Copies of this chain bind each other. A is one copy, B any other.
Amino acid sequence: MNDRTQRSEEIGELEVWCAGEEWCPVTTTSSLIGKKWHPVIIHRLLDHGPSGFNELQTAVDGISSKVLSDSLEDLEEKSLVDREVISDKPVRVRYSLTDHGRSLQPVIYAMRDWGLEHLADPSETDSPRE
């Protein structure tokens, strides 16, 4: 195992290597957004624009506050999401995509389009939801 590949993004540098000494953009991208909820969160921020915490939780649907909080923190560390406190009393926070995060749009939309084209909505094909 090449130990340079070991979660070095936490150290700040993103070193993901593949065969030989070749650096792999797919692996690296995957390590950034390859968490369960990351693509969805980014998708919602792309479509809905800046959102508050609960607003986002509703939009993602099914995610617990703890996981959403953890995910957002992770995305923030990766400079993909920006967190802004816009009011102290009551506390009000706004999450938005950074330019870096917004640049992921083609990736997220590629996933969306592929899903639409190749993964039929079960409610529209044959098997209705139980």
A contact residues vs B (CB 8 Å cutoff):
1-2, 4-5, 7-9, 11-15, 17-21, 23-32, 34-36, 39-40, 43, 58-62, 79, 99-100, 103-104, 106-108, 110-123, 125-130
Cα A108 to Cα B4 with chains together (Å): 23
Residues of B with C-beta under 8 A to A9: 126-127
Residues of B with C-beta under 8 A to A121: 23
Q: How many copies does the complex hold?
A: 2
Is the CB–CB distance between B114 and A106 below 8 Å?
yes
Given A110-B110, A125-B8, does the pair A30, B40 have CB atoms closer than 8 Å?
yes
Q: List 9 A-B contacts (CB under 8 A).
A: A7-B118, A18-B59, A18-B60, A23-B122, A25-B112, A26-B111, A26-B115, A30-B111, A106-B110
Smallest Cβ-Cβ distance to A125: which chain B residue: B8
**CB contact between A26 and one of B11, B28, B112, B122 (< 8 Å): that residue:** B112
Residues of B with C-beta under 8 A to A15: 122, 129
Is the CB–CB distance between B14 and A126 below 8 Å?
no
